[in-house]
Structure 1
Amino acid sequence: MTINELKRYGLEEMREEEIETFLETQSFGVLGLPGKRAPYLVPLSYAFGGNSSLYFTYVLGEESKKEQLTDSADRARYLIYNAETMFNWESVLLEGTFKTVPPSEWADIADELEGVWRPEIFKTAGTSRNVKIFEFEIVDSSGIKHTQFPSEHK
């Protein structure tokens, strides 16, 4: 079914302001990078840099497929979602481009990066490994939500 067909069951498209609020209140999603055989999907936390960008911090090993695919990607997609119940959920799909943030500019985005949720293992590993920050410049966004019980459950 299409989004328009699902609207009669309570599905709603999110307005731009709702998408921005959602991005401000969430902290992780799934990054989809173009791959040779299929998309390369990576769960990844983010920092929201306002309505036009996200920041991703990569903790890199000697060879990082994620870094290689990010460096070569013309565009990528990032899906953020929150499903509290089967009747109360939201999701936002972003499309964008990448730009490496040089270490000399990290202080400029320190406020955005402070307090970003990430698994403890990556916080610990980040102090002893190579770290790279990417800015994901949002070129397109869409969001949908369902926040009500269907009529038969009311």
Structure 2
Amino acid sequence: MSTDEFLESSAATMDDDRIRAFLTEQGVGTLALPDEDAPYLVPMSFGYDGESALYFAFLLFGPESRKETLSDDAAGARFLVYDARSPHEWRSVSLRGRIAPIEEGEWTDLREAMENAWHPDLFSSAEPMRGVRGYRFRIDDWTGIRQGGPSE
């Protein structure tokens, strides 16, 4: 069975309203940044502004951060958010966009969007922390699929 046949028979495409609701409900996903040999993947807490952007707060440790360097150099990036409750009930949204740092004086949108973000407590005690840097991921396009769950 091809992927298209599988999706037609058992999964449904999510419309824009469902994708917006899903991103608002979630708070963690996987950021994919371009790298020389293969994409660099990193789990990230995120906030969603409800319209066209995700926000990240990078906690920076040590003298250099690969995530920071690759984000600063990237022309584009991808982000994946999913929720797999069972083999028969799951949702997945893939986003493509542009990531750029936010100046410290412009963090109002980041703070508001990050209210729903999931934050591990591991980082609160990690040292030495160099600082925090905010990033905005402007969404160019998205796709979402789901299986099971409420049909409304």
The answer to whether TM tops 0.5 is yes
1:49 aligns with 2:49: yes
State the partner residue of 2:76.
75
Matched-pair contact (CA < 8 Å) for 2:94–2:144? yes
**Aligned CA distance change for structure 1 residues 53 and 17 (closer, same or farther; 3 Å):** same
State the partner residue of 1:122.
123
Unmatched runs of 5 consecutive residues or more in structure 2: none
1:96 aligns with 2:84: no
Matches within 5 A, 1:1-40: 2-40=2-40
CA distance in 2, matches of 1:119, 1:126: 15
Matched-pair contact (CA < 8 Å) for 1:3–1:11? no
TM-score normalized with structure 2 length: 0.89
CA distance in 2, matches of 1:104, 1:126: 25
State the partner residue of 1:106.
107
Moved more, 124-133 or 37-46: 124-133
1:94-128 Cα shifts (integer Å, max 9, x gaps): 00001211110113432222352110122444995
CA distance in 1, matches of 2:127, 2:11: 40
Matched-pair contact (CA < 8 Å) for 1:19–1:92? yes
TM-score normalized with structure 1 length: 0.88
SS of residue paired to 2:51: coil
Alignment: residue pair count: 148
CA distance in 1, matches of 2:109, 2:53: 14
**Aligned CA distance change for structure 1 residues 39 and 124 (closer, same or farther; 3 Å):** same
Q: What percentage of aligned pairs have identical amino acids?
A: 38
Counterpart residue type for residue 107 of structure 1 = T
CA distance in 1, matches of 2:8, 2:109: 46
**Aligned CA distance change for structure 1 residues 23 and 88 (closer, same or farther; 3 Å):** same
Matched-pair contact (CA < 8 Å) for 1:59–1:126? no
SS of residue paired to 1:129: strand
**Aligned CA distance change for structure 1 residues 15 and 139 (closer, same or farther; 3 Å):** same
Per the TM alignment, residue 87 of structure 1 is displaced from its structure 2 partner at its CA by 0.2
